[in-house]
Structure 1
């Protein structure tokens, strides 16, 4: 057995999961094996939703594999990144025993999934320095070893703090934890970053996995499609732990259309627009009254500290602008996270903070 599969819970290594009708591999023209309706719903619109979908649609897996530079068998498609996070925690961590390491302040679903599984959660806080927040990778590795962690979640670009971590440093972390823990790099905002993806390093470093999503740069948040890129043996284990039919057929068709070459060209244009607006907004926010600090960001958002975050939040809301209140997060008691919108939306943010009113 590989060192990677030894990280999986022993009772799940040979777990076959639910043998759904669509996993049988059977071919035919008359489908009577899944207790489906033979008639289409009047609202079907030609989608054929009276039939169960493929558990892991091959066309979508292949398209995502091509997009991210891996093989199709290294792709697990699911309901956003959230499902992959949950599957990883459930498949690798025994309740009360196998820990999960995170670096707060960070995306909250890592901690939620760990708590639901009863997995001990180990915090290695980010350090707030002159160049922004930084992850202490040495401390993360030491904590993972000391606490017997099976999973280390690293968000890069980090949500909500915005920093990216050099690919070489993440590879070094994975090598240090080989045979001990799986290092999961969440690249949900990777399209906006200067750092290369770690996906192509999975073959050389099997205890490295990458999370990607179509919810951000690809503008498919409501379709709820994300994926885990990992060693094929781990993908197979997680497939056996996944719900039988995780991906609705209409969402798969949306995703395939959204990953066509014309759609990808438009996505790249929008990413460049966001990057330009991000730097403009960062510079102009820094000059707004009551703003203490605007952090550099590699994502499609900015983390901003205020002299009075409550007042800033209220002024924005009064102008119809909804931002993310980060004041309940560790180290962020005076901070708001502002997503990068269209130019006119960003102008409304600036107007509200400058005058307390929406832009005319």
Structure 2
């Protein structure tokens, strides 16, 4: 056994997992193998929900593979990116031995999954410069090699800082860590970015994995449809470690509708609108007297520092506008993260921030 499977926990490499009734691939007319009710719920008009769903719905796998430009064998569908993050940590990291590396300030679920697994957490903070926050790739590589890191999580565009990372930097990191560490790039916001996805690199880089989601650009956050693209051998192991029925049938149907030609065209139009509004909002925020700095962003949000973040947050909340308070995050004691809304919503936010009590 070699390659990416060497990164899997020894006790899980041959783990068969749970063989669900729907995973047996049997065919018949009368289904009496899964203890499903013989009648439909009164709340379910066509009765489809009385049956367990496909563990990996083939039509959805094919549609996502087509969207992301990969093979279906490289793709795992799960309950948002969160499930894939948790699966990777549990499958690759033995408790108290194999570490997880993160680059704060960054999405908090990487650290949460490490904590729940008992995996040591290694932090290599983002470095702030004139162009915003950036990953110190040399420091990441050195820490990963010295601290027994099994999984490196990178976020591009990064949440909450908004910066994207270069594919050449990722490739060099993966090459330095080959055989020792899986490099995971979380692309939850890549549709809003000037940078292209790194999915195409997975085929030639076995220790690289990419996270994608329908929650952001495709506006399906409540449906909880995420995908992991990785080496087929690793995907096969993760499927055996995944819960038996991770994708509810109504969510899969909603996702397929969102991936139709017409829906994808509408999504593309809305992404263009968000990108335009993001720059308009950034320019406007930068003129406000209480705003110290607005960072460039490749996501559907902006990170801004305030002279009095507490006053700004309170004024917005009093006006019924909820933004993300980042003051508890490393290096962001004076910062708020603002999602790009509709033009009218953005104008209302700016109006509140221009009030004398905030600007004073």
What's the TM-score once normalised by structure 2's chain length?
Answer: 0.98
Q: Matches of 1:46 and 1:232 in 2, distance apart?
A: 36
Query: What is the SS of the residue equivalent to 1:17?
Result: coil
1:257 counterpart residue number: 257
Q: Matches of 2:47 and 2:339 in 1, distance apart?
A: 34
Question: Residues 351 and 357 of structure 1 are in contact (CA less than 8 Å); yes or no, is this contact kept in structure 2?
Answer: no
Q: Which runs of 4+ in 1 moved over 6 A?
A: none
Question: Residues 187 and 210 of structure 1 are in contact (CA less than 8 Å); yes or no, is this contact kept in structure 2?
Answer: yes
Structure 1 residue 181 displacement after superposition: 0.3
Q: Matches of 2:250 and 2:47 in 1, distance apart?
A: 7
Question: Residues 191 and 271 of structure 2 are in contact (CA less than 8 Å); yes or no, is this contact kept in structure 1?
Answer: yes
Query: What is the SS of the residue equivalent to 2:154?
Result: strand
| Unaligned runs of at least 5 residues, structure 2 | none
1:66 counterpart residue number: 66
Q: Does 1:235 align with 2:230?
A: no
Q: 1:106/1:192 Cα in 2 relative to 1: closer, same or farther (>3 Å)?
A: same
Q: Matches of 2:47 and 2:208 in 1, distance apart?
A: 37
Q: Matches of 2:270 and 2:338 in 1, distance apart?
A: 17
Q: 1:356/1:87 Cα in 2 relative to 1: closer, same or farther (>3 Å)?
A: farther
Q: Matches of 1:18 and 1:188 in 2, distance apart?
A: 29
Structure 1 residue 169 displacement after superposition: 1.2
Q: Matches of 2:283 and 2:153 in 1, distance apart?
A: 31
Structure 1 residue 84 displacement after superposition: 0.1
Structure 1 residue 356 displacement after superposition: 6.2
1:275 counterpart residue number: 275
What's the TM-score once normalised by structure 1's chain length?
Answer: 0.98
Q: Does 1:320 align with 2:315?
A: no
Structure 1 residue 176 displacement after superposition: 1.2
Query: What is the SS of the residue equivalent to 1:4?
Result: helix
Structure 1 residue 45 displacement after superposition: 2.4
Q: Does 1:290 align with 2:290?
A: yes
1:22 counterpart residue number: 22
2:35 counterpart residue number: 35
Question: Residues 47 and 250 of structure 1 are in contact (CA less than 8 Å); yes or no, is this contact kept in structure 2?
Answer: no
Q: Matches of 1:203 and 1:250 in 2, distance apart?
A: 31
Question: Residues 315 and 356 of structure 1 are in contact (CA less than 8 Å); yes or no, is this contact kept in structure 2?
Answer: no
Question: Residues 316 and 356 of structure 1 are in contact (CA less than 8 Å); yes or no, is this contact kept in structure 2?
Answer: no
2:162 counterpart residue number: 162
Q: Matches of 2:291 and 2:195 in 1, distance apart?
A: 28
Q: Matches of 1:323 and 1:56 in 2, distance apart?
A: 35
Q: Matches of 2:116 and 2:184 in 1, distance apart?
A: 19
1:2 counterpart residue number: 2
Q: 1:354/1:57 Cα in 2 relative to 1: closer, same or farther (>3 Å)?
A: same
Q: Matches of 1:311 and 1:132 in 2, distance apart?
A: 24
Query: What is the SS of the residue equivalent to 2:153?
Result: strand
Please tell me the root mean square deviation across aligned C-alpha atoms, in Å. 1.1
Q: Matches of 1:266 and 1:172 in 2, distance apart?
A: 36
Question: Residues 104 and 124 of structure 2 are in contact (CA less than 8 Å); yes or no, is this contact kept in structure 1?
Answer: yes
Query: What is the SS of the residue equivalent to 1:227?
Result: strand
Q: 1:356/1:235 Cα in 2 relative to 1: closer, same or farther (>3 Å)?
A: farther
Query: What is the SS of the residue equivalent to 1:49?
Result: helix
* 1:208-257 CA distance string (max 9 Å, x none): 00000000000000001101000111001001111100111000000000
Question: Residues 47 and 249 of structure 1 are in contact (CA less than 8 Å); yes or no, is this contact kept in structure 2?
Answer: no
1:139 counterpart residue number: 139
| Unaligned runs of at least 5 residues, structure 1 | none
1:248 counterpart residue number: 248
Query: What is the SS of the residue equivalent to 1:152?
Result: strand
Query: What is the SS of the residue equivalent to 1:203?
Result: helix
Q: Matches of 1:357 and 1:89 in 2, distance apart?
A: 46
1:81 counterpart residue number: 81
2:338 counterpart residue number: 338
Structure 1 residue 3 displacement after superposition: 1.8
Question: Residues 318 and 357 of structure 1 are in contact (CA less than 8 Å); yes or no, is this contact kept in structure 2?
Answer: no
Q: Does 1:225 align with 2:225?
A: yes
Query: What is the SS of the residue equivalent to 2:279?
Result: helix
Question: Residues 149 and 181 of structure 1 are in contact (CA less than 8 Å); yes or no, is this contact kept in structure 2?
Answer: yes
1:110 counterpart residue number: 110
1:153 counterpart residue number: 153
Query: What is the SS of the residue equivalent to 2:200?
Result: helix
Q: Matches of 2:66 and 2:356 in 1, distance apart?
A: 47
Structure 1 residue 330 displacement after superposition: 0.3
* 1:328-351 CA distance string (max 9 Å, x none): 000000000000010000001100
Question: Residues 55 and 244 of structure 2 are in contact (CA less than 8 Å); yes or no, is this contact kept in structure 1?
Answer: yes
